[in-house]
Amino acid sequence: MKLTGQSEAVIIRAMAGQGFYFIEPFTEDFLRILKVERVLFQGRTKYQLVHCFKSRIFGKMLFLDGRIQSAQVDEAIFHETLVHPGLILHPRPKKVLILGGGEGATLREVLRYGCVERATMVDLDRELVEICRRYLPEWSRGAFSDPKASVVFREARQYVEKTKQKFDVVVSDLTEPLRGSPSVPLFTQEFFARIYGVLGKEGVFVLQAGSADPHYFHFFASCARTLGAVFPVVRPYWTFMFSFSLPWGFVLASKKADPLALKEEDIARRLREREVRQLRFYHPRLERGFFSLPAYLVRAIKKGRMLEDKAPFIWEA
């Protein structure tokens, strides 16, 4: 999901017996300090450094390589915003592919849809998924055990390039491209073209695309512009994330349907027909607001660069 620097975060004991604090280095110019109520897990998987702890303000929190991935207080905002615009847009979403999403919350949201027959989640890090199942069960809420769910531990690009299956919707919940990260080749025109190829004729692709603030918007803008070279309909959107302290960007790309053509009553009807209930954040009237971007992002997308295998986006601290 959300990685933007290279230095590792540390948990330190504050002076004067004030407890433990977690330092999150977003970049060398932007640090956050969070008080730790209780450490649930800290260690390293084969692929990344993992911290999981409880905060009085944010509840349980997950950090990978020192950067926040999810917080209990607002993970529903992130995952509902990521999943529902794409699944609502497709006229008959039956087969869904999720790339990344180790916490299981993206899978949880996809499985809300009664029309979904199969949800395949592809994640590289088996150890991380097990950590999340043990320490963050509130995220998946049994999704990993759902008979409609299938979890594949494999590199996302390799899976997409080799699969013979066709999907109605693909949801990318991948970490951002740090130097040396396996995510680097997963945000390029070539990979987006592969995604296009595994989608059905009315296919929809949606991805989380990083911060959408007035300074750190380049990744978001470049993802949107690059998808425009592959898909006929591309709609960037955003929401604010309290636990990130930032507005966050997403991009929806479609082979046919346009989310701006959906009326509020169409969305409400599809939610009813697909048996989607008890959402915490997303609702029919909210969707149109997602796609209303400020002027600085509209300008940024026009200037975003094309991301290619030979020249991918790499976050630098």
- Residue 265's closest CA among 285, 235, 286? 285
- From the list 125, 173, 258, 309, the catalytic residue is 173
Whether the CB-CB separation of 305 and 224 falls below 8 Å is answered with no
Instruction: Give the position of tokens 């969070």.
Output: 34
Whether the CB-CB separation of 43 and 2 falls below 8 Å is answered with no
DSSP assignment of 220-283 = HHHHHHHHTTT-SEEEEEEEEEGGGTEEEEEEEEESS--GGG--HHHHHHHHHHTT----SS--
Strand order in the sheet with 38-44: 38-44, 49-55, 59-64, 67-71
| Helix/strand/coil percentages in the chain, nearest 5 | 30, 30, 35
Instruction: Give the position of tokens 């330190």.
Output: 12
Whether the CB-CB separation of 188 and 308 falls below 8 Å is answered with yes
261 CB contacts (<8 Å, ≥6 apart)?
A: none
Q: Is 65 a catalytic residue?
A: no
What's the length of the chain? 317
Catalytic positions: 173
